[in-house]
Amino acid sequence: MMSRLRGTLVATALVALGGGSLAAQSTGTVSGRVTDERSGEPISDILLQVPGTRSSAVTDPTGRYLLQSLPPGPVTIRLSWFGYRPTEVTVEVVAGASTERDVALEPEPLPLGEVLVTAASRRAERIVDAPAPVAVVEEHRVRDLVGTGQTPLLLADLPGVQVMQSGVGSFNVNPRSFNNLVNRRLLVLVDGRDASAPFVGSPEWSTIPVWEDGTTVEVVRGPGSALYGANAFNGVLNIVNPSVRQARGTRVTIAGGDPASVSVDARHGWLSSDLRWGARVSGGYAQAGTFDESRTATGDLAAEYADAMGGATLGQAPQPGYELLPLLGQSKATPFGVPGPVTGDPDPMTTVRGEARIDHYLVGGGTITAEGGFTRIEDQVNASGGSRAQIRRSDVPWASAAWASDAFNVMAYFSARSGDQLDLASGGTFEDHSSRLHLEGQANRSFADERVRVVGGGSVRRETIDSKGTVLAPEHDGRADEYYALFGQVDVQLVEQLALVVAARVDEASLFEAEISPRGALVWTPAADQTVRATWGRAYLMPSATQRFVRFPLGPPADLSLLEAGLRASPLGPALAGVPAGTLFTNSLAVPVLTIGDDDLGPEEVTSVELGYAGQLSRVFVGVDGHYSRFEAFHTD
């Protein structure tokens, strides 16, 4: 029996080998070199596709390409890449042979209206056709700021986007309405990964720098919860890093500036000889002096802002009028709790990072990607509505895996944060040990000759938060919460010039009841490359764990003994006779000053109506948008 089975396996293997040989003899290959028509220089990263087959290729640094397994006879090859006119050539393929065909491409600047964006509908579409206002950071801006580590500065010139900087690495970005010191109303995605910190829910900008010239950065303005959920309250920032094919080879960047900043960044990418596998490793180190100053003496805050106030009077500093701790690296001679000047220089903020990525480019299209990285931040100062905190050390590891194609996308990622911070106002230390595990899938389909396009998917997320008893109320600390979502969008071409877009998402979690976020849009195309859109949408923002469960000293205990004495001397005195002296406020000499969360805090909601125009007029792209938004249960710091 075993001998018969072994014979069957051998026969099957011979048939398979024979079939492979026959297949190779019945197909042919095409190779060649792609150059710039004007300069004659080779062009790398040009995408070549053969419609109707599973064959595709990308040119190497010398402009060479190789297309395999092509059917014999005339074959059309389509070439495309940013900055060049899309080109098609026809080649006669000979079975069992290799045909050489060189191609020269004509340079053609890409009009902004032709730029493809993905965040508005979770699929690729021209920016002029998007059902929401989208702004794209121009390539030269990305190139100029690569290596600075200050990603929000890329957005400072975009229409409708507010960027507020409160430190070298501390920013708050909001595409609409009110900005504040801890803004969570913009969802930030890096290659599909939520870049917010689970503990506070806001982006940690020092961990999401843009390091590659080919990175695309786009901002969707307006409610995006219909496709993205809670934090897409006022918009979505979508950062997509280039694949290994698009950013390979070796690059080293060294930058310096004020205040006393220096950064070194390096990466190297490899491609396999058949262009099907790519690997890239990168890393960087950055150090920068700080804009921040210690405020340990009475009057320090007013002195720090004297020039900015232009002679105006600064409002009252939080009690007791000074911070109890100096910045790391500085010291003061007076005892803890007693105001006094500082000596020495503050420690510089440092960031160390490293990443690795592997891409597998599938025959016929699609890419499987696995990547991971680690960032360490030290000495960064963050401001909130109540106080300032300085990170002693924060470690942020992450990893992700994704399978992306035209028909579907599947991804999973994990991120974590572990570290501690000093609260400069109270002198306390709080810890953050949090993590996020996220699974997501999405399918894209078209029907009725592309007149109906459907995007649908779902996600599951688990977040853990543990402050080790330093920040959250004990009964809510060391928690784990689950989140579930279903989303979808349907685009229907009603008539030639009018399209209807309907989207909705349902979110449910252990922290809150089900939330439904709808969106609808009519997109009218009165002429080629011009659209007028009318959009209605609703979004929500859930309170963070700190807003709901925080219990932390906001400053040193307050002495309310004078208040107690005044109350006893007032007409209320006789009623207080039975309360022992000094205990009216438990301990009137030292009453805790706490920031306390609201367990019952519900979602903030916004309903928005928009009217917009987008058009590519010759070489000029024009975008005009107007909106009216109504906020309910608005959250402040």
pTM confidence score: 0.82
First-residue to last-residue Cα distance in the chain: 76
pLDDT of residue 82 exceeding 80, the answer is: no
B/e letters for 502-528, b = 16+ CB within 10 Å, e = fewer, are ebbbbbebeebeebebbbbbebebeee
Full DSSP string of 401-433:
EEEE-SSEEEEEEEEEEEEEEEETTT--EEEEE
Average pLDDT of the segment spanning 386-413:
93
Q: What is the pLDDT of residue 14?
A: 29
CB of 290 closer than 8 Å to CB of 370: no
Q: What is the pLDDT of residue 291?
A: 83
CB of 386 closer than 8 Å to CB of 595: yes
Give backbone dihedrals phi and psi of 567, rounded to 5 degrees, phi first: -65, -40
Average pLDDT of the segment spanning 602-617:
92
pLDDT in tens, 560-590: 999 999 999 999 999 999 999 999 999 999 9
Q: What is the pLDDT of residue 317?
A: 60
> What does CATH list as the number for 116-290+346-506?
2.40.170.20
Where along the chain do its domains lie? 24-105, 116-290+346-506, 558-591
Full DSSP string of 23-81:
HHHT-EEEEEEEEETTT--B--S-EEE-TTSS-EEE--TTSEEEEEEEPSEEEEEEEEE
Average pLDDT of the segment spanning 182-201:
89
pLDDT in tens, 312-357: 665 556 667 889 999 999 999 999 889 999 999 999 999 999 999 9
pLDDT of residue 18 exceeding 50, the answer is: no
pLDDT in tens, 434-468: 999 999 999 999 999 889 999 999 999 999 999 99
Answer positive or negative: Cα dihedral of 373, 376, 380, 384: positive
Mean pLDDT of the residues in the chain: 86
Cis peptide before 320 (omega within 30 of 0): yes
- Domain 24-105, what fold? Immunoglobulin-like (2.60.40)
pLDDT of residue 24 exceeding 60, the answer is: no
If phi over 0 gives left and psi between -120 and 50 gives alpha, with beta otherwise, what is residue 133? beta
CB of 194 closer than 8 Å to CB of 188: yes
pLDDT of residue 7 exceeding 60, the answer is: no
Banded pLDDT at 305 (limits 50, 70, 90): confident
pLDDT in tens, 222-272: 999 999 988 898 899 999 998 888 887 888 888 887 778 888 989 999 988
The closest alpha carbon to 388, from 208, 555, 150, 259, belongs to 555
pLDDT in tens, 116-163: 788 888 888 888 888 889 988 887 788 777 667 788 888 888 888 888
Q: What is the pLDDT of residue 35?
A: 94
Banded pLDDT at 185 (limits 50, 70, 90): confident
Banded pLDDT at 406 (limits 50, 70, 90): confident
More confident call, 369 vs 384: 369
